[in-house]
Chains A and B, each alone.
Chain A
Amino acid sequence: MAAVCIDRLLETVEKPTRYIGGEYNSVHKGSRDVEIRFAFAFPDVYEIGMSHLGLRILYYLINQREDTWCERVFAPWSDMEEIMRREDIPLFALESRDPVKEFDLIGFTLQYEMSYTNVLNMLNLAGIPQLSRDRGLEHPFVIGGGPCAYNSEPLADFFDFFVLGEGEEVIGAVLDLYKQWKSDGKSRGEFLEMAAGLEGVYVPSLYSVEYNSNGTVKGIAPLNGSYPARIKKVIIEDFDAVYFPDRIIVPYMDIVHDRAILELFRGCTRGCRFCQAGMVYRPVREKKPETLMRQAEKLIESTGYEEISLASLSTSDYTQLSPLVRDMIERFGSQGVGISLPSLRIDSFSLDLINEIQKVRKTGLTFAPEAGTQRLRDVINKGVTEEDLLESVGNAFRCGYSTVKLYFMVGLPTETIGDVKGIKDLAYRVIDRYYEADKQSRGKGLKITVSTSCFVPKPFTPFQWEPQDTMELFNKKQDFLKQELRHRAITYNWHQPETSFLEAVFARGDRRLCKVLLKAWGNGCRFDGWMEHFNFKAWMEAFRECGVDPDFYALRRRDYDEFLPWDHIDIGVSKEFLVSEHKKALEGKTTPHCRDGCVNCGITKVFGGGVCDAIGQS
């Protein structure tokens, strides 16, 4: 393998540190000392991808193996892409600068639908055929993982296989199998057949899709009986003991989440009905505080980071959050290391905790009521009352805070214009609480940021059968809020519905979208999540040219008995549970928190009774 030479070119691109590699704690091995070259690919720019916890974990996990060198590769920004195409420089890995085309495996993490064209673009820049069927023995295997792999049908033609569930558990088996296959000198197809036998591995080319005359999917079935009819995700059963790196790469540039991240627990006990992560990451599994403390110490020592973020899907649900935070402040406060708590829920918002954190570093306050009225919050099972929220906000104001962010969604199922107006009412009540707080104690200069995003129905959620609002309706609702939210303390941010529409198409799409994706890429689409690159017109042309109707995917209500393109994937949560949650949503009935009693989502039936911490502790 000959490394690419990019030095002279770096002077002409924006943010050259995206491409130079060699950061502190990055792993360098001799290419002759390893048997497997693995490229961990994140289909977005460096500063986004480097913030991703999954990359940080898997990078070191794979590099623990002496026989494998795992390197990173990100999507080059458009200026770099232009130079690479002009100078004929293939996509290269950051550490060795070797072309990824010559690697053994490329693993893409699929975090959001709007990164799909970047996957195709990266394969093309690498000189790897985009369609899996066009690849030969000389090409790497292209693997996909991450949340979007749970419905990977719109990407089925491009990937050799997908890994469903927690990568820490599967990747070792995949690499062992690869080594065995390589030494046996078998064909590419034979590797895929062998891989299909691994738990949590889905090889789309070994499954065929049948369609009904009305255009819906009739079924997805294995080509023969030796492959599983349903592919079950894999999970880490003992999460406290799961591998966690004692170091992470310290980037040169300011990345999006430029701090040490600890994972308090996986899964979520809440059950918000719009939330895919809350379903697919079940069961809930916590790490012990002493484990987290030990991991924090190692990370701070090995990185020099000045901030530790305690991450999870709902950080305040960590059973021992308060003692953990106090211990960490005691341990790290004197070194100027701050603690941040993302994903704090407002109902269990602890004022003391916030005050403790503030002693070291002041962080902003973010609340996510998601819907403007109690009725709609009950529909989505966001177990938050207005009084909870207002009390928390009032407390925060009395502690000297004056900046609050409020996140909402528009277009949730059953939403009326009254619910939309509820967003305004809630924002104004927050303002009232500010003025009710004592003048001496509250901070100066009240600033409230209200943000609305457009609801995207996701697979494996109780709303997977729901139609999305039309773009016209989204615009109408957000225009209404633009009119209503006119207060000097309020800044209103809204979301362009076009990207949400495409997300809805691909989130619940099937294999017929592969050709649209390829066409859209051909029409120049990439970095679709970036406003400066998003080209909705090119997308709509791609749909037209392929004769595919996007509304069929985004705007159609599905029946319960329709076969969904992800019904052959088993995430452990049963379809019956999702149906019952959907029915309860339409009746405005809530489902309690898992710790108040098991809601029988089905996860313990699939993975055994002991795996869910919520049951163990309730």
Chain B
Amino acid sequence: MPLVRVEYEKKGRVAYISHLDLIRVIQRAVRRAGIPVEYTKGFNPHAKISFGPALALGTESCGEMMDVQLEKEMEVKNFIERMNASFPDGIRVTKAEYIPDGSASLTALINAAEYTVQAEYRQGGSGQEGRVSDFFNRREIYIEKTSKKGKKRLIDIVPMILEQKNIEVGGRRLSLDLILETGNERNLKPADLLFSLRAYTGLELENVRIQRQSLLIKRGEKYFTPFQVFK
């Protein structure tokens, strides 16, 4: 059965669609597009599509991932065109490739994501640069997490900040480019990181814009895209 791995954007108004709603939106888009997708059996048949890790509500993304199971092979270019004609504004396929039989699922593979953050400080003033770099140089940063059972525990997020690609503090602007641990096992949301940034530095942020740039697979010290690694 041909399996297509798809990268797509979620930008603008559609950033406010929850992961569950997004699944329905994509299911219907696939049906409209007339793509020969494989359907599940049973009383409520739905297209066989599996998604990468969920995106937080309100966060835009340039690199969301899904795997679509087709009934029969079709040209990738045609696939992309038909999907894009059927999506609401803001959702757009940027890349699609057939992947080998027996490839591991996106959720099994993906363990990192690159995020950019743009924000402004509510108050101007001096010393912000130092406070922000102190924060990112800390040996440990604890945040409180609530488990599904409602238990609260403190966890150290420093090991979950995998790369600090760029940290810029200039005037009232803050700009970050980070790779964070992502996935079912261990997951650091940029919003949680910003929450502790505020808590540690006392800096109030506004006009915060978070974008997920890509979903990644970290192997040793190297990063790969889901189009490069299948097992």
Q: Which residues of A contact B (CB under 8 A)?
A: 8, 10-11, 16-17, 20-24, 250, 252-254, 301-306, 335-336, 360-362
Contacts and interface: CB of A to CB of B under 8 A. Distances in A.
Given A250-B28, A252-B21, A304-B29, 15 more contacts: A16-B16, A17-B17, A17-B18, A22-B14, A24-B32, A24-B87, A24-B88, A252-B24, A254-B21, A304-B27, A304-B32, A305-B31, A306-B46, A336-B39, A336-B45
10 contacts: A17-B16, A20-B16, A22-B88, A22-B89, A24-B28, A24-B88, A250-B88, A304-B31, A304-B86, A336-B46
B57 A16 contact: yes
Interface string B46-76: 1000000000011000000000000000000
A362 B32 contact: no
Contact of B32 (A254, A303, A336): A303
B31 A20 contact: no
A390 B124 CA distance: 76
B44 A361 contact: yes
A361 B39 CA distance: 14
Contacts of B27: 304
Interface in B86-122: 86-90
Interface residues of B, number: 31
B31 A306 contact: yes
Nearest to B59: A11
Contacts of B24: 252, 254
Contacts of A336: 39, 45-46
Given A11-B57, A304-B86, A361-B43, A21 B31 contact: no
B25 A252 contact: yes
B145 interface: no
Nearest to A22: B13
B30 interface: yes
Give the top 8 A-B pairs by smallest Cβ distance, nearest first: A304-B28, A304-B31, A304-B32, A336-B45, A16-B16, A24-B88, A20-B13, A11-B58
A79 to B, nearest CB: 14
B88 A23 contact: yes
Interface of B: 12-14, 16-18, 21-22, 24-25, 27-34, 39, 43-46, 57-58, 86-90, 207
Contacts of B31: 304-306, 335
A515 B144 CA distance: 53
A335 to B, nearest CB: 8
B43 A362 contact: yes
Nearest to B22: A252
Contacts of A254: 21, 24
A362 B31 CA distance: 21
Contacts of A360: 43
A21 B90 CA distance: 12
A259 B207 CA distance: 37
Nearest to A21: B13
A303 B29 CA distance: 8
Contacts of A361: 43-44
Nearest to A28: B89
Given A16-B16, A361-B43, A253 B21 contact: yes
A305 B28 contact: yes
A362 B44 CA distance: 9
A254 B86 CA distance: 19
B21 A304 contact: no
A489 to B, nearest CB: 23
Contacts of B87: 24
Contacts of A253: 21
Nearest to B88: A24
A302 B33 CA distance: 9
Given A22-B90, A254-B24, A361-B44, A304 B18 contact: no
A141 B57 CA distance: 37
A20 B21 contact: no
Contacts of B45: 306, 336
A24 B34 CA distance: 16
A49 B58 CA distance: 24
A443 to B, nearest CB: 14
A10 B57 CA distance: 9
A360 B89 CA distance: 32
B32 A17 contact: no
Given A24-B87, A304-B86, A361-B43, A17 B21 contact: yes
Nearest to A335: B31
Contacts of B43: 360-362
A616 B163 CA distance: 77
A360 B45 CA distance: 9
A21 B87 CA distance: 14
B29 A24 contact: yes
A301 B31 CA distance: 8
The residue in B16, B28, B58, B89 that gathers the most chain A C-beta atoms within 10 A of its C-beta is B16
B31 to A, nearest CB: 4
A10 B28 contact: no
Contacts of B14: 20, 22, 252
Contacts of A362: 43
Contact of A10 (B16, B39, B88): B16
A420 B90 CA distance: 56
B13 A304 contact: no
Contacts of B22: 252
A335 B31 CA distance: 9
A306 B39 CA distance: 12
A108 B43 CA distance: 38
Contacts of A20: 13-14, 16-17
Contacts of B29: 24, 304
Contacts of A335: 31
Given A22-B13, A24-B88, A252-B21, A301 B32 contact: yes
A302 B32 contact: yes
B21 A303 contact: no
Nearest to A19: B16
A305 B31 CA distance: 8
